[in-house]
Structure 1
Amino acid sequence: MSQKSLSQVTSPTHHFTVQLSATRRGARLARLLAERQLDDWGLPLEGAVHIVAELASNAVLHGRVPGRDFRLRLKLHSDGTLRIEVTDARGDRLPSTPAPVADDLESGRGLRIVTAYADRWGVDEVPAHAKTVWAELTPDRRHQ
């Protein structure tokens, strides 16, 4: 690797990680802790907190395995990009691009919300049959 490419690697300047129970209470706590951490970092909250709430909720509803927790990780990179990661225990249930949802349904909008607020999002497979759903917000999008 050349010296130039080493300087282009973006490493986190701030990071926050917490393991939470895969329950509604754990999902709510993920949102509250993210809100507090982003506020401590001096970042706008709205879009990022909505993403955390949706990804944590999905981890609890669709990624839950009895006796296993989920993990929330926030990384603020030196270029100002915020990466949100939620890792759950169900690597066999991978989310996909959201399809249209009927107006009268109460669910099915979570990834549409993530898509609306994030610059990009995706899923990474993790060892032990788990997955990480991540979303990134660049400095311009964090203000929305």
Structure 2
Amino acid sequence: MKSETTTPTGEFTLRLSATRRGARLARLLAVQQLHDWGVTGSAAEAAELVVAELSNNAVLHGRVPGRDFEVRMRMERGDDHVRIEISDARGERRPLPAEKPDEGGYGLLLVAALATTWGVKDRCVGKTVWATVPLTPVRTG
């Protein structure tokens, strides 16, 4: 990551079709935006994985025919994290991590491991799943 004085302030928002192709584009365009903001290395990889997992969940579990999903990333000068938000049109389908190995849901475990925090908030139509991904390594122990 570039130094604090050169970290740009920015918000990146786009709407994509709720398809596998839309989820792929979300990941690719988010990676390009992170690069444009100067976010590289493990921080960019972590953010990329979070965008990929949440976008895949939006198109797999949150899809409503004829409705798009939205990707939003925000980072402000001096921030030590990037906030990622993925919104879909299915508010009644809340994300839950897998409790049993055969249920799937491992993507949310990955999100929880890579993000400092994540959650779900309601919107007028649907929901937003958000995560904050640190731009510096998280120290454990």
Q: What TM-score range do you get, normalising by the shorter chain?
A: 0.7 to 0.9
- Residues 41-75 of structure 1, C-alpha deviations (whole Å, 9 max, x = no match): 11131100000000000000000000000000010
CA distance in 2, matches of 1:95, 1:127: 18
In angstroms, what is the RMSD of aligned CA positions? Answer: 1.8
**For 2:122, what is the secondary structure of its paired residue?**
strand
Q: How does 1:68-79 map to 2 (within 5 A)?
A: 68-78=67-77, 79=79
CA distance in 2, matches of 1:106, 1:94: 15
Code of the aligned partner of 1:65? V
What are structure 1's unaligned runs of at least 5 residues?
1-11
Structure 1 consecutive aligned stretches of length 4 or more whose deviation exceeds 3 Å: none
* Alignment CA distance shift 1:106-1:25 (3 Å): farther
8 Å contact 1:84–1:135 — kept in the other structure?
A: yes
**For 1:34, what is the secondary structure of its paired residue?**
helix
1:17 to 13, 18, 36: 13
Identity rate, percent: 56
Q: How far is the alpha carbon of 1:125 from its aligned partner?
A: 0.1
| Structure-2-length-normalised TM-score | 0.83
1:120 to 114, 117, 122: 117
State the match for 2:50 in structure 1: 51
Worse-superposed segment, 71-80 or 60-69: 71-80
CA distance in 1, matches of 2:38, 2:59: 28
State the match for 1:61 in structure 2: 60
CA distance in 2, matches of 1:75, 1:29: 18
What are structure 2's unaligned runs of at least 5 residues?
1-7
